[in-house]
Chains A and B, each alone.
Chain A
Amino acid sequence: MALLEVEDLSIGYRTRLGLHRAVEGVSFSLEEGKSLGFVGESGCGKTTVGMSLMGLLPRNGEVLRGRVLFEGRDILSISEEELRLLRWKKISMIFQAAMNALNPVKKVADQISEAILAHSSSVPKAEASRQVEGLFQLVGVPKERMRDYPHQYSGGMKQRAVIAMALACKPRLIIADEPTTALDVIVQAQILEETRLLQEQLGISIIFISHDISIVADVCHDIGIMYAGELVEYGSREEVFDSPAHPYTRALLSSFPTLTGNREMLKPIPGEPPNLVDPPKGCRFRERCQEASHECSLISPAWTELFPRHKVRCIRFERKKGPQ
């Protein structure tokens, strides 16, 4: 059984203008010890999916439909208290903008041991600080810096501390939301490499959320491409990168340059994503799609399985496959 199974998840935000359908019918599963990357533009719903797994949707957010099975249990229907026990001990999160995720008036080590103590009341204080020391070593922050305050840390060290905090209670699943966005290219490379090693060593499952497809390329086993609240392509890293199927995936990939060969003009995706209060009928990408036909405005494309671990939602593939 998969560690996490998400079925037909739909989430909306109540806004002045109406219900903003941020996530629509998203299904995926994640095996123990594997990593999955969600990629898409801002507003595509990737962060909302992550937040809903932690039970951390903002007040105006609501799960409209679907099930989230974690270790076989539907965590959307459990009580707040049960959720609290699950949070951090079983599922933890690395938040966007790590610099703001730490408490500025508390020593970094204390913040991490606080997380440990809050979730395992039986652990003595001395044991907790011993564990924190181990975590610092694990993420590569020198232990002399344990008693420092966040402002004394560089951006990369803060990010490492936030990762240490996510690891504090030995969770089975970590949701990493844009963990390297504000970092420099060299620090980013180090953090990505370390995340990959930690994941392999500790066998933790990771959901990696990023707007940048190049970031997830090195870290994730599977990749899900999201557009306007929907998952449009899903597959193993190799399949998605070697034979991208959805026009949106291909457009995303072609907005990155090469270092050798001719300098070819990058082809950015024209236009803007649709308004999700009143999402367009049919395929949501069709207005920006170079290959759209009249049919795309009529029918919402269904999943087509290209290979056992690679599927896509685009009408062109439905047609190719023909009726089953």
Chain B
Amino acid sequence: MKEETGTSFLSFDGVSKFYLSRGRMLGGSGRQVVALNRLTLDIRKGEIFGLVGESGSGKTTAGRLIVRLEEADRGIISVEGQDVTHLKGKRLKDFRKRVQMIFQDPYQSLNPQLSVLDTVSEPLLIHRVGDRLSRAEMVMNALQSVGLSPPGDFVHRFPHQMSGGQRQRVAIARAMVLRPDFVVADEPTSMLDASISAQIFNILLEMQKSLGITLLFITHSLAAARYLCDRIAVIYRGNLMELGPADDVIQRSRHPYTRALIDALPKFGQCGETERFNTFLKAERESSSTVGCAFFGRCSIANRILCSQEVPPFKTVSPGRRVACFFAEEQGKNLTASKTCHYGI
């Protein structure tokens, strides 16, 4: 993206991923589900980039493609100019040392039979880093940096002896212990208490600052994204809808889907009369999955003919700001929330 500044660290170039629905596997006619549709975006070195959307939007798929839990069907993913889309063997292993993932559910992502020490030192063993003593030291440091202190109290614990928040910290320590350049955090707080989420967010912010790690933060909450991210992209059914600096996308949203996500956030505090955008249709209208705008079926401002037939281009509306909507320029209304209104994460 030439109009933007900052060095690109990771880029998606026309990346698509398809899944076959189950019918096919059972010998039926089967339907192809498009999880990602020609995703193109850049994540800059050192930033926290937010990918925001509801379940089924393809946001998790995008993360899994990066760490190569899945392979893209089309397009190129590159890291610092190097094509990593289909790496294999030793090169893939070396790549994975640089790119780590934090999963959604710390109740499932940790092996119940491994102690914290074993869990966090496993990546070091796999990548043959250091000797026993230096590995133990690296584990201690990693635990300390995620706020599990004193680390000596935690190294011999097993997952069932820890709270959800503590488990997720262990998962973060495990991702960070190799000092990766890039980390994918896939809804790292959705299984945790709301009051614990802030702790996890602050740890991620600290990681970005002190270690210079680039982060992809995947979430369904624009409020969480605004707190953590430098830039965000909003994605719906595999298609990018809106992209830009976090504050700008949220406070001056131009896409009706972004606005639906803002309307949906629960809020409290001195919110006053926050005006709603009401861009989301209660009853989904019939739409084609192959032609027209992906959001047509749910959009209250759609033009029935234009939007059902043509895919809106992902056009630049201002420097660094892109929106895939025919009516982006006409959406003048900005967010009117007060500064004392708090939103759910």
Contact = CB atoms under 8 A, between A and B. Distances in A.
Contacts of A215: 266, 344
A266 B227 contact: yes
Interface string A182-205: 001111111010000000000000
A interface, how many residues as a size bin? 35 or more
Contacts of A192: 266
Given A212-B193, A251-B195, A255-B195, 13 more contacts: A155-B55, A184-B220, A186-B261, A186-B264, A186-B280, A214-B342, A217-B266, A255-B194, A256-B198, A258-B341, A259-B341, A263-B247, A272-B163
Contacts of B339: 258, 260-261
Interface string B13-29: 00000000000000000
A155 B269 CA distance: 29
Given A259-B250, A266-B198, A214 B343 contact: yes
A60 B279 CA distance: 50
Interface string A225-267: 0000000000000000110000000011101111111010111
B294 interface: no
13 contacts: A42-B164, A185-B54, A188-B266, A214-B268, A214-B342, A215-B344, A256-B198, A256-B345, A258-B342, A263-B247, A266-B201, A266-B227, A272-B166
B108 to A, nearest CB: 14
B260 interface: yes
Contacts of B223: 256-259
Nearest to A217: B268
B92 interface: no
A214 B344 contact: yes
**Which of B166, B268, B341: most chain A Cβ within 10 A?**
B268
Contacts of A260: 251, 335, 337-339, 341
B211 to A, nearest CB: 18
**Which of B194, B196, B197, B340: most chain A Cβ within 10 A?**
B194
A306 interface: no
Interface string A207-229: 00001111101100000000000
A6 B282 CA distance: 39
Nearest to A140: B282
Nearest to B57: A184
A269 interface: yes
Interface of B: 54-55, 163-166, 193-199, 201-202, 220-224, 226-227, 247, 250-251, 260-270, 280, 282, 335, 337-345
Contacts of B251: 259-260
Contact of A258 (B196, B197, B337): B337
Contacts of A185: 54, 220-221, 261, 264-265, 344
A41 interface: yes
Contacts of A186: 54, 260-261, 264, 280
Contacts, number: 127
A189 B268 contact: no
Contacts of A242: 270
A268 interface: yes
Nearest first, the 4 A-B pairs at minimum CB distance are A261-B339, A214-B344, A217-B268, A189-B264
A97 to B, nearest CB: 11
A263 B342 CA distance: 12
B265 A241 contact: no
A253 B55 contact: no
Interface string A139-177: 000000000000000010000000000000000000000
Given A256-B343, A259-B222, A213 B194 contact: yes
B100 to A, nearest CB: 23
A255 B197 contact: yes
A282 to B, nearest CB: 22
B345 A257 contact: yes
B65 to A, nearest CB: 21
B195 A241 contact: no
A253 B202 contact: no
Contact of A267 (B198, B221, B260, B269): B198
A188 B220 CA distance: 11
A259 B262 CA distance: 9
**Which of B164, B195, B261: most chain A Cβ within 10 A?**
B195
A265 B339 CA distance: 14
Nearest to B343: A259
Contacts of A213: 194, 268
A29 B266 CA distance: 26
Contacts of B55: 155, 184
